[in-house]
A and B are shown apart, each in its own frame.
Chain A
Amino acid sequence: MLITLEKRPTPSRGWAIATPVLAVILTMIAGGVMFALLGKNPVEAIRTIFWDPLFNPDVASYSRPQLLVKAAPLILIATGLSLGFRAGIWNIGAEGQYIMGAICGAAAGLALYPLEARWIVFPLMILAGALGGLLWAMIPAILRTRFRTNEILVSLLLVYVAQALMASMALGALRNPEGGGFPGSRNLSQWPAAANGELVANTGLHWGVIAAILAVIAAEFLLRRHILGFDIRLTGLAPRAARFAGVNPDRLILLCMGISGALAGLAGLFEVAGPAGQISIDFASGYGFTAIIVAFLGRLSPVGILLAGLLMALTYIGGELAQFMLSLPSAAIQAFQGMLLFFLLAVDVLSNYRIRLATKGAA
């Protein structure tokens, strides 16, 4: 007997929905085995990661709001990235755009310090944050359209430039003049005109969450109803057919890079003005890279990304909890998260292929 893969004439919708669920289940099984090999009770470990952050009365009051705080930037960035990914435009440098959004947004706000008019300061920061991310993404975009450079490399390398810039800002131009020489800017979350605080107490709901939900709705609408969304999908599925249809590939590159950069910049601004509070050397926390995983976990569909972002945030919070409560090594948690992506990509084959058992010889 031979196992063969047979391409489905039309991709299966049922499997497209079922595969992420299957991937999570397989991750739980494989992760459970790994935890067991590490000498931990697998059931307890899985429960600590997936159940306790939400429902364990001892920790949920802290960890439940964290879910939205962690999920919002992931969803916001991943939604933007998914548009480009669908069109075959690989912005790998969302982390850099996220950092630049934070720097520009914070700088725009700090320039007005200590103005108390929130209706001027906060919107201006949002605008500057989005613009910072957008312009940073335009560098790989324009280099690609003008000189045919590879946007994967350029956007990725610009992450390290942005990180260096972030450190220099924390130590130099944006350093808190009243901070006693310590690196780091003024704390924006303690300045009412600029703070991106909780809108409803103990929920974790802040403006970034609202922006993420709006982005998901807008992206879903774009992909379903707008010709631009159609052009994006067409370019990804059949680039030559897209040129035949009249899609201008360069315009699409600028647009997708611009949208993903602006959303990443927004995520950075909401982070720096809220949960992080200030520009600091260790501001960058990898949201921009994790968002790539979230985008694929969500099947590059906005609603899928919403769910995937929440799931990913849960594994982060639950992972921290497991480290702390069960003293699991952090490498094991990272391996667990890696398994999730691995299984997700592995089972994806089922939506386009059907597995057949064939007798040998009937080639």
Chain B
Amino acid sequence: MTPLIEIDGLSKSYPGVRANEDVRFSIAPGEVHALLGENGAGKSTLVKMIYGLVRPDAGTMRLRGEPYAPPRPSVARERGVAMVFQHFSLFDALDVAENVALGMENPPPMRALAKRIREVSEEYGLPLDPARLVGDLSAGERQRVEIVRCLLQDPKLLIMDEPTSVLTPQEVEILFRTLRQLSAEGTAILYISHKLEEIRALCDGATILRRGRVVGSCAPREKTARELAEMMVGQTLTPPARAERARGPIALEAAMLDLDSPNPFGVGLRGVSFQVRQGEILGVAGVAGNGQDELLLALSGEIRSPTDAVRIDGHGVGHLGPVARRRLGLVAAPEERLGHAAAPDMSLTENALLSGGPRRGLVARGLIDWAKTRIFAREIVEQYDVRTPGIEVAARSLSGGNLQKFVIGRELSQDPSVVVVNQPTWGVDAAAAAAIRQALLDRAAAGAAVVVISQDLDELLEVADLFAALNGGRMTKPRPTQGLTVDEIGLMMGGAHGMEEAHAHHA
């Protein structure tokens, strides 16, 4: 059988980086093929070449035996190649059908389109109402809009970039059923993910990329997740060490925390209550946009609340700002590194001062002690293995993983008694992610109360002692992580959006 797509010797260089070098593999019709690799391994560049967003420097592709060199995505779509991006390109203020129409070359009349959307979504088990506003949809439903948009073009090859990062386990199941159905009908799927268990469950074949080159291929079902990870990283991985930790008194407490989101399409918090003891890690799961950002802002002090809604060591701090809370021992690391946790155009030294002032004594009577600040910055860079040419470079010149290590390092080096982090390893390579998780565990072992907000369930199961989920701004009662089943976790996270009437309570 001729392969659906054959990739032969594709290379692409950017100034200073070889993103892809002599990449070759092929996908058969109906095959679900995984593209595995760490961040920066060249997966994105490769799929962008296949989708016509980037022109290769060298190499050729053949689609169903015919030469294929798409100069732009519209040509790729005409030839039957479709792609669902990790970040959605949807307009909140338009409805589903309008959003789908915007992505089409020649959209049919709205009525006909709405009918087609309903047919396709039913056929593939992706419930979707064409008349709903995208701004009101959950992340999973938004993804369905993107998928349905692709399916309307009747693709032969569907590229999916990290599709499950925003889904609950139940939603992942629905998506997989759809993908298997597509595969059975002969549509090939190129599936990019770093979630190895998913790849083992779904994919027939896998190509592994490291530093732009193909370093191996395998049938994922025949390998363990650990073996796949080691092929990806090229080294043996050690799981984080979890020392037995002594639990102290309650260090951080939220009591019926209510607040409105500062963001018009954001989700406010409703009656969030929890307690974290010294030496304990609370993991907060949930699909993005269910109040995670708001929870971090409320705990860090960027959004104020009634005095007793947030307590540190028993003292009500809800009315205090970030500086006062830092003095009391609470440090925080928001999700967005550039622009929130760090100022992109400032040097690492200045970024060290950004939150390190109060606890490290970098400012005395209003005067900045730059010598001390530089020592602090250097200490973070050394202890947390931040790869940077120096501490005077702008924060934006660091890679995502290195900047994240800097941010986490900056907060953890302040001898905190309470740590709150949101998405600590988002977009960070496996080695850096492991280092960050280990640092959080070490901090808890040193007696800090830690709250880890994350969409990565594996991460939470790895580090958290207590597990809770945020859904529509409400938080479930924290339960011990040990002994939780995936089904229970899924139910805590709110189940599958759109599959049941239960989620209509967010008024």
Contact = CB atoms under 8 A, between A and B. Distances in A.
B357 A10 contact: no
A248 B302 CA distance: 10
A244 B356 CA distance: 12
B420 to A, nearest CB: 12
A118 interface: no
A207 interface: no
A226 B397 contact: no
Nearest to A233: B346
B343 A246 contact: no
B355 A230 contact: no
B363 A246 contact: no
B321 interface: yes
Nearest to B393: A10
B364 to A, nearest CB: 10
Interface string B329-353: 0001010100111111111001001
A237 B334 contact: no
A7 B350 CA distance: 21
A230 B362 CA distance: 12
A227 interface: yes
A240 B368 contact: no
Contact of B342 (A226, A230, A241, A246): A241
Chain B interface size, under 10 / 10 to 19 / 20 to 34 / 35 or more: 35 or more
Contact of B340 (A228, A237, A241, A248): A241
Q: Give the interface SS of chain B, mostly helix, strand, loop or mixed.
A: mixed
A57 interface: no
Contact of A11 (B55, B301, B341, B345): B345
A343 B341 CA distance: 35
B40 to A, nearest CB: 16
A240 B323 CA distance: 15
Nearest to B398: A9
A243 B302 contact: yes
A205 B186 CA distance: 86
Nearest to A361: B55
Given A246-B301, A246-B326, A361-B55, A230 B341 contact: no
Interface in A325-357: none
B341 A10 contact: no
A146 interface: no
Contact of A244 (B55, B322, B367): B322
B397 A10 contact: yes
B144 interface: no
Interface residues of A, number: 23
Contact of B339 (A227, A240, A245): A240
A238 B363 contact: no
Contacts of A237: 343-346
Nearest to A239: B339
A148 interface: no
B339 A238 contact: yes
A248 B321 contact: yes
Interface string A236-260: 0110111111101000000000000
25 contacts: A10-B394, A225-B370, A226-B368, A227-B367, A227-B368, A230-B368, A233-B346, A234-B350, A234-B354, A237-B343, A237-B346, A238-B345, A240-B336, A241-B339, A241-B340, A241-B341, A241-B343, A244-B302, A245-B322, A245-B355, A246-B301, A246-B321, A246-B322, A246-B323, A362-B55
Interface of A: 9-11, 225-228, 230, 233-234, 237-238, 240-246, 248, 361-363
Given A237-B344, A240-B339, 7 more contacts: A10-B347, A10-B394, A226-B367, A228-B366, A234-B350, A244-B355, A363-B55
- 5 nearest CB pairs, A to B: A9-B397, A246-B323, A246-B322, A238-B343, A10-B394
